[in-house]
Chain A
Amino acid sequence: MEYLARSISIKRWKLDTARGSAWIRADAVTNCLKTQEDVLSFWECNLDKNSIDEVATAIASGFKTLEGISIILLAKTELEAIGCNYNLTDGETPLKSAVNKHMDVGKLGLDDLSKLARLIAQKVRTSTEGQLLINQYTQNRLLELIGLEIKKGNININSLNEKLAEKFK
C-alpha cells in the first residue's frame, strides 16, 4: 500500500488569499495534527475508492457522534521525502479488517509537523475531488459504509458507541 490517510478538517487548511500561500493557520496544526507521544495516527491505503472507504469506515466507526469527515492521503514517498518515519501498530477501531492497517507516524518534532502541515495545505489547496487525495464523506455515506461492514460481520455492533449503534438497530 502506497499511501497513508488521516481525517482532517478541510476548512482549517484553506488558502487565505490576503495572507498568501505560505500561511497556514496555527489552528490547523493544533487541531488536525494533534500528536500523542509525538506520534500521529494514520491508516494505510491505496489510491482507490474501496481502500479509502475502508479508512473512512475505520475512523467513523470509532465516533461518538456520526458526522461527515474528510480524509487526506499522503504518499509514503512524500512522507519519506520530508524525513517522517512510519510503522505499523494496532489501530483502535471497531472495523476488524482495518486494525492491522494502522500506522504511527513519528516521532515528530516541530520541524516535522511544519513540513507535514505544508504538505497537507498544498494538497487541500490544489487537488480536486476526482484525484482521490482529498475525500469527503457525508454522514449518510458513512452510515451506509458502517452498515455494510456490520452486515459482513466485519464490525460488531456492540463495539460501536452506544448512540452510533442505535442507528443500526
Chain B
Amino acid sequence: MRGLNATIDKEVESIPGSILRNRTGSQNNFLFFRENELAEYTYRPLKSNFTALEHTTNTLTVWGFPQVKSGTTERKNYPYALDTLIQSSQSFTFQVSDFDVTNYQWSLNRLQDLSLVEYTKLKDDDKNELLKLLDEVPIEDGYPHPAEIYIEHFIKTQPSKTYEYLTNIFNKNLGENPHISYAVLRCLGRLQWRVVKIEGYELILKGLLSSNTDIYEAITRAIESWKLKDGIEILRFLITKSDDYWLNEYIKMVIEDLRALS
C-alpha cells in the first residue's frame, strides 16, 4: 500500500469522508470511510461534483461526496441511490438526504473507528472478494491490509458465519497456499480484542496444528497485539515447535512483555 500515487484534489481533501460502494454488491452495500483512510486510494474525477477512488487491486470503487467545502452548512439532497444508511452496531439511522457538512461531521464523530455503515449479507461475491484480497495482497508490517475491513465488518454483522467461513479458508489453504492461511490470521490478529473475542482466539489457535513457522509468527503477533497473558503458555509451546531462530527470539521478547503486564 505504501508508495501509491495518491493525487488528492484539494477540495476533496477538505471533505472528511466518503461512501464506498462494493462494486459487485447491490446498491445497499456501503462502507463509510474517514478522510485519512482514503489516502490509500487513487483518485480520479468522475462527474463534476463527484470523485471516484480506486484501490490498487481494482476491486473497489468509491463514490465521493459532492465537493462541498468545509464550513458551509448548505443542505444538499444527494442524488445517490442511497436511501438510508444504518450504523448496525448501535442501530443508529440517518438519511443521506439530511447530510450537510455539519451533520456529516457529526456523523463522522459518532461513527469513530467504525467504517461500517451497512453491510447486509455475506454473499458469495463478498467471499470471493475477500479471498482474492487475502491471496493477492501481501501483508506489510505497520500498514493495514484491505481484507481487514471486510473481516471486521463481517464479524460485526454475522460473527458465526464469518468465523465458519474464515476457518474454512484457513484449513483449506494451509497445505498448498499457506500464505492465504497466514493472511487470515494476521488480519484477524490486527483487529481489536473487543471485535474478535474468544472466537477469534480459537481460530488463531487452529494454527498450532500446523508445522509452518509463518503461521506460528501470525499466532504470536495476534497474542501480542491482543495482550493476552493467557497466551504465554501457547507462546512457550510455539518455541518448542519452531526451529526458526529469529522467531523464537521474538516470541521470548513477547513473553517478557506479556509477563510485565499488570
Contact = CB atoms under 8 A, between A and B. Distances in A.
A85 interface: no
A65 B1 CA distance: 13
6 contacts: A36-B3, A62-B142, A67-B142, A68-B254, A140-B254, A163-B113
Interface majority SS on A: helix, strand, loop or mixed?
mixed
Interface in A75-118: none
A27 interface: yes
B241 to A, nearest CB: 15
A11 B217 contact: yes
A65 B221 CA distance: 13
B244 A14 contact: yes
Given A10-B246, A14-B244, A66 B253 contact: no
A9 B143 contact: no
Contacts of A62: 142
Q: Tell me which of A34, A36, A129 has the highest count of chain B C-beta atoms within 10 A of its own C-beta.
A: A129
B245 to A, nearest CB: 7
A45 to B, nearest CB: 19
B190 to A, nearest CB: 6
Contact of B224 (A14, A34, A68, A70): A68
Interface string B136-150: 001011111000000
A38 interface: no
Contacts of A157: none
Contact of B246 (A31, A59, A60, A124): A124
Given A64-B144, A65-B143, A161-B36, 5 more contacts: A10-B247, A62-B142, A63-B141, A67-B142, A136-B249
A51 interface: no
A128 interface: yes
A126 to B, nearest CB: 10
Contacts of B36: 161-162
Chain A, interface size category, equals: 20 to 34
Nearest to A142: B142
A7 B142 CA distance: 11
A21 interface: no
Contacts of A136: 246, 249-250, 253
A68 B221 contact: yes
Interface in B116-130: none
A141 B257 CA distance: 8
A139 B138 contact: no
Chain B, interface size category, equals: 20 to 34
Interface of A: 7, 9-11, 14, 27, 31, 34, 36, 59-60, 62-70, 124, 128-129, 134, 136, 138-141, 161-163
A120 to B, nearest CB: 13
Nearest to B261: A140
B141 A69 contact: yes
B135 interface: no
Given A136-B250, A138-B250, A128 B225 contact: no
A65 B142 contact: yes
Task: Give 4 nearest A-B pairs by CB, closest first.
Answer: A63-B142, A140-B257, A10-B246, A138-B253
A129 B249 contact: yes
Nearest to A161: B36
A70 B245 CA distance: 13
Contacts of B105: none
Contact of A65 (B144, B214, B246, B250): B144
Contact of B250 (A14, A31, A68, A124): A68
B138 A7 contact: no
B246 A68 contact: no
A7 B257 contact: no
Nearest to B250: A136
